[in-house]
Structure 1
Amino acid sequence: MNARIRHPDTTEGAAVRTVQRRDGHGARHVRDEVACEVPVALHYNDQPFAVLMATPCELADLALGFSLSEALIRKASELQIDGIDESVDGIAIRMRIPDARHAVLADRQRNLPGYGSCGVCGSASIESVLRAPPRIASELRIEEAALHRALAALHQRQPLNAATGATHAAGFSDRDGTLLLVREDVGRHNALDKLIGAMASARIDAGDGFAIVTSRASYELAMKAAQVGIPLLAAISAPTTLAIALADSARLCLVGFARDGHCAVYAHPERLALTSAESSR
């Protein structure tokens, strides 16, 4: 069965499979929704660049977000999607970027395929990964209460994970904690790239809000956030040392363990203000 043929009653990004469920009363066969994961090849100007293992929905967002967060283009108007082609082997996204931008790809050429839906995995050199992040220009500061409002809303905006239990989500909130956009994917990097692409298409100012992710805060996620100018990135799990170092240099507020009304701020805590009630304790 083709994983990309969607039954009308199936959640987008999922496929139905038969599974044997077992418990103390024995075994039974039931139909279960499973998250789709397929190879998605990214081609620029007729040349292959990377292969991501991704959920095959919102692929235009993925292509644009990846191109922006990996600094392959500077603005959305520099990318043209020529086609999204499906085959039994996977999906190929054919894109075109200005020749001057395409010329720099030779220094960051990927060894295909990439693994783990990762913007770093498959890179040909360390230099192509550890590029200097831009310093975030936004002076945004938010109250911690806004962060927790957005996190609470995110739990209700993950239909694919609710159906399958197998995906990550990335959301973007305004400074007041109103969740504006959410994207899901089996890969945490892909979820953030889809979000970045959707923000660019909607012309949402990355510097006027913050991002939240349902994963650890890895270097790659911190780099992607910094690259597009998001001033605060909050993750429900821990950060890594390299993510903290990058956040320090990029003026990115990096928050970990953001859940259940708590959080830990690892870089630039001045961007996350205590609410007035908390600060008076």
Structure 2
Amino acid sequence: MKQTEFLIESEATDSAITALKYEDGQLREVEDRVAEEVPVAMIYNGISHAVMLATPDDLADFALGFSLCEGILSSARDLYDMEIVHRVNGIELQMEIASENFLHLKERRRSMAGRTGCGLCGSESLDQAIRIPNRIQAHDIHFDAEAIYLAQRNMQTLQALQGRTGATHACAWVNPEGEVLMVREDVGRHNALDKLIGARARQQQQTAGFVLTSSRASYEMVQKAASADIPMLVAISAPTGLAIRMAQGCGVTLVGFARKQQHVVYSCPERLLHKELA
């Protein structure tokens, strides 16, 4: 048996473990549920391109969303087939893509043994490190700030894996009325957004709306939102400076610290409407 094989808990999203909990001056044995993360390899036309650590569910969404956000595919139509193959040391997402997309991928492909949340691993030069998407096309849509707070309350009840483990992020697609239409979860915030974008593309969902994320807003979160023409990204935590500048340049409304009837707007504030209190 390889050393890594014992680390993989099959294809479960979470598992039960026995642990010791110290509370109120006492130590006792408890059963806890923990989120699982598994190496997931993105394979295009037989060539491995990247390996991500991810929660092993909604993998078809993950494959498509990652491919779209990375610019490997231009649309869902470029993905001809996808097979999920479980190995003893991880999962392979074996994709068959259009020849034109594969040729383009081979031209820009770099040696990437793995990826992390930074989004820059595997780049060979500074010019390759930050990919700037085109400016989004959703110019005329507006949202009421109350939709953010309504969506926050609703999203928490839809985070099943987070409720069991307390260890995952979620990204939700929210309509202008604040209704949560779709949620995807993962141990990685970027993976959760990839899954959400992939799910919308697979279902050909055209509903207007914005993304609410349970995480901070990094550069890569904004880059993914802009690449999917998402007009507004709302995070419950802080954005980075690079994320703000990218949002400004791409025309994405970036909102941070959204919690308990308050938020901060960092870019394109005209898209978010606020009721003035008397």
- Same fold by TM (over 0.5)? yes
Counterpart contact for 2:60–2:82, Cα < 8 Å: no
Counterpart contact for 2:120–2:130, Cα < 8 Å: no
Query: Where do 4+ consecutive residues of structure 1 move more than 6 Å?
Result: none
Report the 3-state secondary structure (helix = DSSP H, G, I; strand = E; otherwise coil) of the residue aligned with 1:196.
helix
- The aligned amino acid for 1:70 is E
Cα deviations by residue, 1:173-203 (Å, 9 ceiling, x for unpaired): 1111111000000000000001011111221
1:10 maps to: none
Between the aligned partners of 1:176 and 1:123, the Cα distance in structure 2 is 40
2:235 maps to: 235
Whether 1:27 aligns to 2:33 is no
The offset of 1:15, in angstroms, is 1.0
Report the 3-state secondary structure (helix = DSSP H, G, I; strand = E; otherwise coil) of the residue aligned with 2:157.
coil
Q: TM-score, normalised on structure 2? A: 0.92
1:143 maps to: 144
Between the aligned partners of 1:82 and 1:76, the Cα distance in structure 2 is 12
Counterpart contact for 2:114–2:121, Cα < 8 Å: no
1:75 maps to: 75
Whether 1:57 aligns to 2:57 is yes
- The aligned amino acid for 1:19 is A
Between the aligned partners of 1:68 and 1:110, the Cα distance in structure 2 is 20
Counterpart contact for 1:67–1:73, Cα < 8 Å: yes
* Paired residues for 1:163-178 under 5 Å: 163-178=164-179
- Of all paired residues, the percent bearing the same amino acid is 43
Report the 3-state secondary structure (helix = DSSP H, G, I; strand = E; otherwise coil) of the residue aligned with 1:247.
helix
- The aligned amino acid for 2:97 is I
Report the 3-state secondary structure (helix = DSSP H, G, I; strand = E; otherwise coil) of the residue aligned with 1:86.
strand
Counterpart contact for 1:168–1:187, Cα < 8 Å: yes
Between the aligned partners of 1:161 and 1:263, the Cα distance in structure 2 is 23
Q: TM-score, normalised on structure 1? A: 0.91
The offset of 1:5, in angstroms, is 5.4
- The aligned amino acid for 2:121 is C
Counting matched residue pairs gives: 270
Whether 1:48 aligns to 2:45 is no
The offset of 1:31, in angstroms, is 1.9
* Paired residues for 1:1-281 under 5 Å: 3-4=9-10, 6=12, 13-105=13-105, 106-116=107-117, 119-138=119-138, 139-205=140-206, 208-274=208-274, 278-279=275-276, 281=278
Counterpart contact for 2:151–2:179, Cα < 8 Å: yes
- The aligned amino acid for 2:159 is Q
1:9 maps to: none
Cα deviations by residue, 1:122-155 (Å, 9 ceiling, x for unpaired): 3344333312211111121111111211111111
- The aligned amino acid for 1:3 is E
Between the aligned partners of 2:134 and 2:54, the Cα distance in structure 1 is 27
The offset of 1:30, in angstroms, is 2.2
Counterpart contact for 1:254–1:266, Cα < 8 Å: yes
Identify if the C-alpha distance between structure 1 residues 136 and 78 changes in structure 2 by more than 3 Å, giving closer, same or farther: same
Report the 3-state secondary structure (helix = DSSP H, G, I; strand = E; otherwise coil) of the residue aligned with 2:57.
coil
Between the aligned partners of 1:150 and 1:227, the Cα distance in structure 2 is 23
Q: Which runs of 5+ in 1 are unaligned?
A: 7-12
Instruction: Quote the RMSD (CA, aligned, Å).
Output: 1.7
Counterpart contact for 1:115–1:122, Cα < 8 Å: no
Between the aligned partners of 1:107 and 1:76, the Cα distance in structure 2 is 20
